[in-house]
Amino acid sequence: MTSTFSQWTLDVRDVGLMTRFWAAALGYRILPDDNGDGVHLWPPEDAPAGRLTVWLQPSAGPKHGKNRNHPDLVAATGTADAEVERLLGLGATRADVGQTGREGFTVLADPEGNEFCVLHRRRSS
Query: One-letter amino acid identity for 113?
Result: G
| Tens of each residue's pLDDT in the chain, 125 residues | 899 889 999 999 999 999 999 999 999 999 877 677 889 999 999 998 889 999 999 988 887 778 788 999 999 889 999 999 999 999 999 999 888 988 999 999 999 999 999 999 866 65
Q: Are 73 and 53 in contact (CB under 8 A)?
A: no
Q: What CATH architecture is 1-62?
A: Roll (3.10)
pLDDT of residue 58: 92
Do 1-62 and 63-125 have matching folds?
A: no
Q: Which residues contact 97 (CB under 8 A, 6 or more apart)?
A: 66, 107, 115
Q: Cα–Cα distance between 87 and 81 in angstroms, integer?
A: 10
Q: Where are the domains of the chain?
A: 1-62, 63-125
In this structure, the chain runs to a length of: 125
Q: Are 29 and 42 in contact (CB under 8 A)?
A: yes
DSSP strands (E only) in 1-125: 7-12, 29-32, 39-42, 53-58, 72-73, 93-94, 105-109, 115-119
pLDDT of residue 35: 72
Q: What CATH architecture is 63-125?
A: 2-Layer Sandwich (3.30)
